[in-house]
């Protein structure tokens, strides 16, 4: 294997950089001792080339458009498995046997209710609070109900935490929507599967019967699988960083939800729908694209581009097909889809996008499906949070289980004022 070192061209001093090899993908150069040995820091804002950890959960090859959960391609998982099966896989490393799946599924179903007192928290939010704001606050508040962090190192405790989080997050997300919609909170129905239960909590009301559409439940399940994990993305890294301090795991989840909210991350699905609404008509597409390509406009084509995928996003390919299936099965004729197709067609053949390797990402189509299923735009990112909770708890647990876990503490290149003395107020001039 190639050997690497850091060479000081002036002094000829060389620091060996040990390699860390994974199962797949490039080796990592261990720069942990660079500062100690040579007095310089490594500098990589945005972490383009920097691994923060070793992980056995998810593998991405951005150039080849590959996404594997525990070694399995995401398209095979979406085709053959339920979300709960995939959640088991991500948490435990292997696909479940029938008995393991039954036990896991039952455990998740048993943990769906939230403490009755937690329900009253929703009433404290303004009527128009964004559901992501409520999700961040209420998930953080779970730490007040499950406050013992001394047993983070106990695998059984971590398992209970994982099951609770995965089971309760749809209940909390649906409750946030009900608060926003001014409708009564609907309790979980544990005879329903995960996605059907979520649809029921979202759309049923006490006044009339509601039947979950199996096409909608299946589509949601696929979307949840595609969003379940994505290795060290911004929100997962946030959960790991917060968790590395030994904080309460529910508080660490809340930090991940807050990070997911931003439009450069999970907030992009909401931004795509807003963008399609603003463009309004196919005849305005070209003018909009001209603005996107004008650096001074500050306008980006939302749902396009990815830090890691520079060829195509494998999730986008699956979602694109799913999107057509759902709209057809539900008999939805959404002009936004036509608009999205036009944008995609122009972008894929335009040099600006080709040169920068910008392709549709998972969020380009997910919003259109959510909209067809009846979800309001401000619920799109909470849906992402429901699915990604699986990844967050798996990464938190993997990190906490590491014997040599250390607090995450990046360094900086300081560019502020040089050291100076404080002048008494009277001598500081006007
Ligand atoms: N529209 C127009 N131009 C873009 C876009 C876009 N969506 N994305 C990147 N570019 C351009 C940049 O202006 C830059 O051009 P330049 O080299 O001439 O300066 C070049 O492509 C590289 O862009 P960066 O911002 O450096 O790429 P980075 O890897 O940092 O950003 C990101 C990735 C944040 C996803 C970006 O592509 C973006 O803002 N996309 C739109 C938001 C979005 O869809 N986010 C969802 C991501 S997927 C997820 O979180 C699930």
Instruction: Establish whether residue 265 lines the binding site of ligand 1, counting it when its CB lies within 6 angstroms of any ligand atom.
Output: yes
CATH of domain 81-412: 1.10.580.10
Q: Which of the following is catalytic: 130, 193, 363, 395?
A: 363
Are both 4-51 and 81-412 of the same fold?
no
Average pLDDT value for residue range 182-206: 97
- For this structure, is 191 an active site residue? no
Q: Which of 38, 49, 48 is nearest to 16 (CA)?
A: 38
For the record, the structure tokens of 191 come out as 């005879």
Instruction: Establish whether residue 83 lines the binding site of ligand 1, counting it when its CB lies within 6 angstroms of any ligand atom.
Output: no
Atom 13 in ligand 1: residue holding the nearest Cα: 295
Instruction: Establish whether residue 226 lines the binding site of ligand 1, counting it when its CB lies within 6 angstroms of any ligand atom.
Output: no
Return all residues near 278 (Cβ < 8 A) that are at least 6 apart: none
For the record, the structure tokens of 10 come out as 């002036």
| 91, pLDDT greater than 80 | yes
| 90, pLDDT greater than 90 | yes
Q: Which atom of ligand 1 is nearest to the CA of 304?
A: 7
- For this structure, is 363 an active site residue? yes
Atom 47 in ligand 1: residue holding the nearest Cα: 265
| Residues counted in the chain | 430
Q: Which atom of ligand 1 is nearest to the CA of 300?
A: 1
CATH 2.20.28.60 is the classification of domain 4-51:
yes
Q: Kindly state the helix (H) or strand (E) to which residue 29 belongs, with its residue range.
A: strand 28-29
Return all residues near 388 (Cβ < 8 A) that are at least 6 apart: 227, 228, 229, 230, 235, 236, 256, 260, 266
Domain boundaries, the chain: 4-51, 81-412
154-189 pLDDT tens trace:
999 999 999 999 999 999 999 999 998 999 999 999
Q: Which atom of ligand 1 is nearest to the CA of 313?
A: 48
Report CA-CA distances (Å) from 402 to 70, 90, 231, 253: 18, 17, 17, 19
258-308 pLDDT tens trace:
999 998 888 888 889 889 999 998 899 989 999 999 989 999 999 999 888
Instruction: Establish whether residue 302 lines the binding site of ligand 1, counting it when its CB lies within 6 angstroms of any ligand atom.
Output: yes
Separation CA 368–CA 383 (nearest Å):
13
Q: Kindly state the helix (H) or strand (E) to which residue 391 belongs, with its residue range.
A: helix 380-401
- Main-chain phi, psi angles of 7, to 5 degrees: -110, 130
For the record, the structure tokens of 78 come out as 């979406």
Atom 44 in ligand 1: residue holding the nearest Cα: 303
User: CA quadruple 374, 379, 381, 385: dihedral positive or negative?
Assistant: negative
Q: Which of the following is catalytic: 306, 313, 351, 395?
A: 306
Query: How much is the pTM?
Result: 0.91
Separation CA 22–CA 398 (nearest Å):
16
For the record, the structure tokens of 223 come out as 């979307």
349-400 pLDDT tens trace:
999 999 998 988 888 888 888 988 999 999 999 999 999 999 999 999 999 9
Report whether 394 contacts 91 (CB < 8 A): yes
Return all residues near 84 (Cβ < 8 A) that are at least 6 apart: 101, 104, 105, 108, 193, 194
Return all residues near 116 (Cβ < 8 A) that are at least 6 apart: none
């Amino acid at each position: 294997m190639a050997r690497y070192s850091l060479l000081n061209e002036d002094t000829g001093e060389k620091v060996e950089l040990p390699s860390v090899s994974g199962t797949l993908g490039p080796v990592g150069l261990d720069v942990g001792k660079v500062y100690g040995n040579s007095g310089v820091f490594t500098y990589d804002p945005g972490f383009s080339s920097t691994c923060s950890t070793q992980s056995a959960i998810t593998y991405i090859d951005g150039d080849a458009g590959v996404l594997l959960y525990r070694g399995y391609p995401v398209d095979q998982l979406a085709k053959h498995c339920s979300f709960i099966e995939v959640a088991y896989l991500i948490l435990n490393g292997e696909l479940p046997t029938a008995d393991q799946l039954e036990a896991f599924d039952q455990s998740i179903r048993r943990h769906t209710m939230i403490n009755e007192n937690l329900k009253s928290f929703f009433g404290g939010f303004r009527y128009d609070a964004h559901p992501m704001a409520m999700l961040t606050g209420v998930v953080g508040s779970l730490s007040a109900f499950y406050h013992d962090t001394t047993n983070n190192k106990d695998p059984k405790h971590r398992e209970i935490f994982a099951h609770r989080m995965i089971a309760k997050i749809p209940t909390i997300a649906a409750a946030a929507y009900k608060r926003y919609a001014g409708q009564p909170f609907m309790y979980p129905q544990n005879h329903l599967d995960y996605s059907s239960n979520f649809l029921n909590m979202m759309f049923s009301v006490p006044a009339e019967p509601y039947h979950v559409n199996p096409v909608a439940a299946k589509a949601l399940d696929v979307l949840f699988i595609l969003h379940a994990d994505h290795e060290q993305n911004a929100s997962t890294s946030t959960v790991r960083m917060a968790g590395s301090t030994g904080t309460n795991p529910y508080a660490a989840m809340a930090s991940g939800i807050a990070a997911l909210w931003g439009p450069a991350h999970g907030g992009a699905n909401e931004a795509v729908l807003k963008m399609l609404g603003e463009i309004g008509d196919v005849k305005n597409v070209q003018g909009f694209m001209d603005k996107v390509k004008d650096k001074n406009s500050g306008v980006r084509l939302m749902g396009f581009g990815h830090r890691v995928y520079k060829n195509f996003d494998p999730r986008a390919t699956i979602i694109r097909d799913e999107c057509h299936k759902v709209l057809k099965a539900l008999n939805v004729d959404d002009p936004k889809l036509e608009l999205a197709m036009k944008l995609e067609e122009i972008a894929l053949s335009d040099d600006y996008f080709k040169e920068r390797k910008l392709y549709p990402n998972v969020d380009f189509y997910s919003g259109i499906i959510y909209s067809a299923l009846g979800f309001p735009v401000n619920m799109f990112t909470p849906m992402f949070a429901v699915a990604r909770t699986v990844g967050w708890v798996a990464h938190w647990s993997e990190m906490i289980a590491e014997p040599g876990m250390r607090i995450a503490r990046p360094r900086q290149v300081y560019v502020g004022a040089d050291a100076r003395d404080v002048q008494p107020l009277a001598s500081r001039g006007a």
